Amino acid sequence: MTRSSSQNAPRGKSNREDYSPSDRPADAASGDSPDDDLAADAMQPPVVPSAAADEAPRVVEVPLSLAGERLDKALAQLFPEFSRSRLQSWIEAQRVLVDGAPAKIRQPVPLGARIELVPDLLPEQLAFTPEPVPLDVIYEDDALVVINKPAGLVVHPAAGNWSGTILNGLLHRYGDAAAGLPRAGIVHRLDKETSGLMVVARTLAAQTDLVRQLQARTVKRRYFALVWGTMPEDGTIDAPIGRDPRERTRMAVVTGASGKPARTHFRTVDTCMWQRQPVSAIQCDLETGRTHQIRVHCSHVGHPLLGDPVYGRARGKRSVAPLPGGFARQALHAWRLGLVHP
């Protein structure tokens, strides 16, 4: 099956070029970087701290060893499973009672005082809960659903984005059926600020089959991007990707054991000028699915994506002209998706 969220653009000028930092980039060993293709990880349920254990109220009496101690320090001794800062936040939120009354952080606790602690949930414990997140469904049947993800929407809960994700929306839309699947059926990801098509499984059999297709690299994904500079008409960027050794929150083209093989095929469909700077509209086909692959590859060859806040500077070059008002993300859209229906 093939789904598209835009029309084909005209073909550019002819002049093919391949990019590779080494003679045999495919020999790069597997690194520790995550991939946008979740592959086998998609079949493993995420590890989430137990909600039941944290929600249970705790009631203790102040022992002789802690009599007269400050409340927050006494709590740290009585409940070592919680951090001091977390305990202090609960005191301020009046989730800690001393002899039935709210207390202060610095308040001394007397011998035999009854302390009641009612914890609340960590953000990550609320991550896998249903939320009415709007989902733009392009195609749907009993086995799978194809979603057109808008920019700004996170796919999967993670630090800084524990709620309001596509996963939360899937749990709300499909209920127990999604809750019974690893990661609610998600098998691949798009960056938060990248828009476009995603396929999600609705059954375990479909999820297993889609993971197999991703592992075999038979799923076809085409992206539309705007990059700075004049790109060749078509070509392949063949360069291994791993964690940037200088900044671990970024990805980069790396050689040696830390890089995973990554191949991006591109075709230029149009060129224009923006404030005296050339801009190319390109189509990108992914042969692999590394994190930030298109963004890293295009920046590596000197043609970063318009609006990219992380990889927006080409190697050794200053940032170029600002974008039109209101365009505050990387110019990348996943516009076509091809796969064998499970």
- Spatial neighbors of 324 by CB under 8 A, at least 6 apart, are none
> Given the DSSP bridges, would you call strands 277-286 and 263-274 parallel, antiparallel or unpaired?
antiparallel
Give the integer Cα–Cα distance in Å for 103 and 108: 9
Burial of 40 (0-12, 13-18, 19+ CB in 10 A): exposed
Active site residue 191: yes
Identify the CA nearest to 116 among candidates 91, 140, 136.
Answer: 91
Q: Is 238 in contact with 19 (CB distance < 8 Å)?
A: yes
Phi/psi at 271 (5° precision): -135, 155
Q: Which two tokens stand for residue 216?
A: 């075999």
How far apart are alpha carbons 70 and 292 in whole angstroms?
49
Instruction: Tell me which of 191, 234, 244, 308 is the catalytic residue.
Output: 191
234: amino acid identity, one letter: D
CA distances (Å), origin 336, targets 11, 49, 220, 223, 233: 17, 37, 8, 7, 20
The residues annotated with a catalytic role in the active site are 191
